[in-house]
């Protein structure tokens, strides 16, 4: 099968945010393919690379180990990022302070969100605009 024809679904995006550095986020995106439940395509885009991305393929456990290694390295970085924002196909986007991820309960929440996002079969739905409804908050 031609790799360019494989449909990938975005399961999770991690934004690594530096304080006072707008638009200079490093970004990791994790994609799955519906036909392979244990292989993920990961892209890493350092802000200084512009539009260039590094892409690699990992198993489920390798993705978890990769993210864990990145977080441990960042906790010891001399020029650390301030926040990590996780955006998944099934959760609201959540921003964590890097320092808070050293707290077991908060790290467990982050890990649970990532694991759930990787193990969920995501189906994108494009709503019919005629039938699309929105709700509003009122006080």
Q: What is the pLDDT of residues 11-21, one digit of tens each?
A: 999 999 988 77
Structural domain of 68: 3-119
pLDDT greater than 70 at residue 87? yes
> Is residue 114 in some structural domain?
yes
> Is residue 139 in some structural domain?
no
> Is residue 80 in some structural domain?
yes
This prediction's pTM:
0.82
Environment class of residue 12 by beta-carbon count within 10 Å: exposed (0-12), middle (13-18) or buried (19+)?
A: buried
**Residue 134 vs residues 31, 64, 127, 130, 137: alpha-carbon distances, Å:** 28, 35, 12, 12, 10
What does the alpha-carbon distance between residue 29 and residue 87 come to, in Å, rounded to a whole number? 9
Question: How many domains in the chain?
Answer: 1
**Across residues 90-104, what is the average pLDDT?**
94
- The predicted-structure confidence for 36-80, as pLDDT tens digits, reads as follows 878 999 999 988 777 778 999 999 999 999 999 999 999 888 877
Report the pLDDT value the prediction gives residue 13, as an integer from 0 to 100.
Answer: 96
- The predicted-structure confidence for 107-119, as pLDDT tens digits, reads as follows 999 999 999 999 9
> Is residue 33 in some structural domain?
yes
């Amino acid at each position: 099968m031609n790799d360019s024809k494989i449909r990938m679904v975005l399961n999770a995006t991690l934004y690594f945010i530096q304080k006072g550095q707008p638009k200079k986020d490093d970004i990791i995106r994790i994609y799955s393919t519906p036909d392979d439940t244990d292989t993920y395509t990961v892209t890493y885009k350092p802000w200084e690379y512009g539009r260039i991305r590094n892409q690699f393929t990992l198993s489920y456990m390798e993705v978890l180990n990769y993210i864990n290694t990145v977080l441990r390295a960042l906790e010891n970085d001399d020029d650390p990022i301030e926040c990590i924002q996780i955006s998944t196909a099934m959760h609201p986007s959540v921003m964590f302070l890097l320092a808070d991820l050293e707290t077991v309960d908060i790290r467990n929440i982050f890990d649970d969100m990532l694991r759930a996002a990787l193990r969920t079969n995501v189906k994108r739905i494009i709503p019919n605009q005629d039938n699309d409804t929105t709700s509003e908050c009122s006080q």
